[in-house]
Structures are given as structure tokens and as C-alpha cells.
Structure 1
Amino acid sequence: MTKLTDTQTLILTRASARTGNLALPLPEGLHGAAAKMTIGRMIKLGFLEEVDANLRRNEPLWRETGDGHGTTLIATPEGLAAVGIDPVVVKTMAGLRDAKPEAIAAAQRPGTKQAQLIAMLQAPEGASIAEIAEATNWQHHSIRGAISGSLKKKLGLDVTSEKLPERGRVYKLSSA
């Protein structure tokens, strides 16, 4: 597997937090020949893809094609996988426009307890507090706090709950 530079990792992580996985704008200080070399290498590796920019949605331009159109850059699934971002979580976050990119990126890190919590809530049957506590080794009050604070308030996810006689209160991520 190719070892990514800090700049490449930053570009891909930020892209994962943007609608449509847009890789632009690039990090501050990356412009000119350095930007062309970095992006060219990432395209060659299959981590970024150059696509037609949707000017109606004011997508940032990577380059102009000369006929009144331009191209932009998007992160590919391979690029997201290279920084360890789970495609299932990316799909969940895709509709979020106003959330903080840093918070979304933190939730997408695989292997974290928050990513595990999101995966459990995405299951069709959802998860109860007791089931989450067993899987994450968190206290019940910490789980309720993560659901109401991190998932609902910070990330803007729609988490619903219902009380089932056999399992108690079960939490689920609503399908958007």
C-alpha cells in the first residue's frame, strides 16, 4: 500500500467531510507547481478523480477547459479507503452540509467507539443502551450523552428511539 504524505492525507480527509467528496479547496499554502505535482500523483494513484464542475452549484474549479466549462476534483472510494474512512459512514454523512468537517472526519475514523456506535445504530434492528455498553465498554450515561451530544447536536444525525418490551429502548439512525 502506498504511504500517503501529510498533505495527501489532509486533502482526502477534508474531501470525505464535504458534500460529493469534493477535494477542493486545497489546504492553505498548497498552490502552483506543488499543487499540480501533489494532485497529479493522487490522480495517478486513483485517489482523486477530475470531473466536470457543476457551476450552477458553485463547485470550486481545479482548472478551466477553455470552453466556458471547468473541472473539479473528487475523492474516489479508493482514496477514502487509503485514509481508513469507512464507505458506510461516508454514505451516512453525505447529506450533512452545515456540520463541522472536523467533527465528521472524527466520526469517520474506523475503529473508534463513535464509529462503532454509528454502525450499531445503522443496523436495521438498531441497538439498545445495554447492547452498546457491552460492545463499547461505555457507561450508560456516556452512551446517552454521545447520542444526544455528538450524534444529534454536533453531527446533525436523526436518531430515533422506541421502547420494545423484549429489548427496552432501542435507538436507530433514521434513513434520510
Structure 2
Amino acid sequence: MTQIQLTDTQAVILSAACARDDGAIFPVTAKLKGGAVGNVCKSLLKLRLIEEIPATDLNTVWRHDEARGPITLRATPLAQRTLGITEADATKKPSETVIAPIQRRKGTKQDALIEMLRTPGGATIEEIVAELHWQAHTARGALSGALKKKLGLTITSEKVNGRGRVYRII
């Protein structure tokens, strides 16, 4: 069987859904703008990781179908297997559910940035620029956009004497 590669956003949305009793995709907890939620859900539908079901709560409607009425989305068993959630994990209470960590592609600059920020000493913008060969504005944008907003990581910053502002992932 072919391994399904998920983007970080797809993995976040699926993980949240698999943690719910009913496997509901909505409400989406990831911070996405514009039509991003729709695009991610369409791709997950194509991969058969989520499915359409009749909506009972009008606040969770994905789309309206003339024949079936309001439709919402939920995670399929394939989604749980893709995330590495076993059958035993799926029968646990929600507070005991184990969610596999998000699988990111290795060897990318984003992965290198995350590793830099996870070190005990953290990283400064200057260190990120030197290591990843980015401009300073690109490094700041990656911190606030890709890591904070898209991946939902908590990044702290503090002023350290002799080093400047140091960023860390909690």
C-alpha cells in the first residue's frame, strides 16, 4: 500500500478530527484564511481521508446538496491509519486518544528552522539568516506565518544580553 503524504495543514485538520468522538472536521481549529479550508478539505476528500455525511448541526455545514440537504465532513478510518492511530487508540476515551505527531518532510528549510528553534539556546534572526541563507524579513515571516499561523506552534522570544532577541519553540 502506498504511503499517503500529508501537508502540515492536512495533518493538523485530520488530527483534530480524529481526536473528536464523532470524527467531525468542523469546526476547523487551524487558522486558515480565505478558501484554504475548502482547498484542504477537497484534497482530503480526493484521498478518501474524509467523507461527506448529513449534517445535524447547521454550524458545521460543508455544503448544501439538493437531494441530501446540508452536508458536513468527518474523518474516515483510513485517516486514523494514515496518522498512525491504532484501533485500540480509537476505542479509548477522547481524553486518552493518542494522536501521532505531525509528519513533516525532512531536509527542508522549514524543518531546519524548527530544529534550530527547538534547541535549548533557541535562535536569533541573524543565526537563522546565516544558517538558511534567507533574508531577515523571510526569517521573520516564516516564524509568524508558517510556524505560528499555519502549524500552530508556540514561539517565544526574549532579549538575551550579548545575543539579541532569541526565539524558541515551547
Q: What TM-score, normalized by structure 2, do the two folds share? A: 0.50
Q: Tell me which of 130, 145, 148 is aligned to 1:149.
A: 145
Residues 1:128 and 2:124 are matched in the alignment: yes
Residues 1:172 and 2:168 are matched in the alignment: yes
- Give aligned-pair identity as a percent: 45
Q: Distance in 1 between matches of 2:138 and 2:49?
A: 40
- CA RMSD, 1 decimal: 4.4
Verify the 8 A CA contact 1:15 1:21 in the aligned structure 2: no
Query: Per-residue CA shift, 1:97-156, capped at 9, x if unaligned?
Result: xxxxxxxx5xx1111111111111111110011111111111111000110111111222
Is there any run of 5+ residues in structure 1 with no aligned partner, and where?
A: 31-37, 58-71, 76-89, 94-104
Against the structure 1 CA distance between its residues 130 and 15, is the aligned structure 2 distance closer, same or farther, given a 3 Å change threshold?
closer
Against the structure 1 CA distance between its residues 10 and 146, is the aligned structure 2 distance closer, same or farther, given a 3 Å change threshold?
closer
Q: Distance in 2 between matches of 1:170 and 1:120?
A: 11
Query: Per-residue CA shift, 1:74-116, capped at 9, x if unaligned?
Result: 87xxxxxxxxxxxxxx3xx5xxxxxxxxxxx5xx111111111
Against the structure 1 CA distance between its residues 119 and 50, is the aligned structure 2 distance closer, same or farther, given a 3 Å change threshold?
same
Alignment of 1:26-175 (within 5 A): 27-28=47-48, 49-54=86-91, 56-57=93-94, 90=101, 108-174=104-170
Against the structure 1 CA distance between its residues 135 and 48, is the aligned structure 2 distance closer, same or farther, given a 3 Å change threshold?
same
Provide the secondary structure at the position in 2 that maps to 1:157. coil
Q: Tell me which of 13, 18, 22 is aligned to 2:15.
A: 18
Corresponding residue pairs, total: 118
Amino acid at match of 2:156: T
Q: Tell me which of 4, 23, 31 is aligned to 1:9.
A: 4
- Cα shift at 1:20: 10
Amino acid at match of 1:158: T
Q: Distance in 1 between matches of 2:5 and 2:108?
A: 19
Against the structure 1 CA distance between its residues 131 and 163, is the aligned structure 2 distance closer, same or farther, given a 3 Å change threshold?
same
Bigger fraction of residues in helix: 1
Specify which structure has the bigger relative contact order, considering alpha-carbon pairs within 8 angstroms and separated by 6 or more residues.
2
Is there any run of 5+ residues in structure 2 with no aligned partner, and where?
A: 25-43, 51-77
Verify the 8 A CA contact 1:133 1:140 in the aligned structure 2: yes
Name the structure 2 match of 1:87. Answer: none
